[in-house]
Amino acid sequence: MIILGRPKGDPKKEHYYREAKKQGYRARSAFKLKQIARKHRLLKGVRIVVDLCSSPGGWTQVLREIDHDLEIIAVDLSPMAPIENVRFIQGDITKEETLQEIERFSRGVADLVISDCSPKVSGNWQLDVARQLSLAEATLDIGFRLLGANGKVLAKVFQGPDFQEFMKRTKERFSSVRLIKPDASRKTSAEIYLLAIGPRRTASE
């Protein structure tokens, strides 16, 4: 069965959950970013990163750990305990006012936008997948607005009914698009990570 949230059973027995506790990460998802960053050289040439849907902060911890000099702007609906030299915005990534605040901190530019967004699970599979897809769309829009020519977006997506259409739109907007399933992502989970590089802009954009 394909699942969206946490699997049933005792999460304490799960390998990455235990490792996260042991290594001081706030979330097991830290290992997904670690694996993607290593394999796809995600942070090569990157100076400014926007970490969307960042709470509780596992991915932000990994960014800081990999590169102490990165400028990091983290955003979430929920609060997040501080991390050294990270600017945190509590806000909704789908709202223009949040985007304006990101632009104020980043001076309107970024090299990398990452997002690990999950909506509050309602229990209605179709609705949850549709909501997650709109968070992934919002991520791509933010990336399109902030990134330079070689900029990258890494976004979590749940593979549901509108996934192929979403892929088609993303390929029209970015020069390179690939899908990544890191080892730390459960095989039974519908989640996959999309890495899009190089916004295709017309002269007017």
Ligand X SMILES: C[S@@+](CC[C@H](N)C(=O)[O-])C[C@H]1O[C@@H](n2cnc3c(N)ncnc32)[C@H](O)[C@@H]1O
- Let me know if 156 is a catalytic residue: yes
Element holding 103 (H helix, E strand) = helix 96-106
Q: Name the 3-class secondary structure at 174.
A: strand
Binding mask 109-138 for ligand X (x = CB under 6 A): -------xxxx---------------x---
- Quote the Cα angle for 185-167-124, to 5°: 60
Binding mask 3-42 for ligand X (x = CB under 6 A): -----------------------xx-xx------------
If the CB atoms of residues 117 and 157 are measured against ligand X, the closer one turns out to be 117
**Can residue 143 be called a binding residue for ligand X (CB under 6 A)?**
no
Of 176, 172, 183, 137, residue with least CA distance to 156: 137
Q: Which of 35, 50, 57, 86 binds ligand X (CB under 6 A)?
A: 57
Q: Which of 3, 4, 66, 77 binds ligand X (CB under 6 A)?
A: 77
User: For the residues of 16-63, what is the DSSP string, one character each?
Assistant: HHHHHHHHT-SSTTHHHHHHHHHHHTTTTT--EEEEES-TT-HHHHHH
Residues touching ligand X, count (CB under 6 A): 23
Q: Which residues bind ligand X (CB under 6 A)?
A: 26-27, 29-30, 53-59, 75-78, 92-94, 116-119, 135
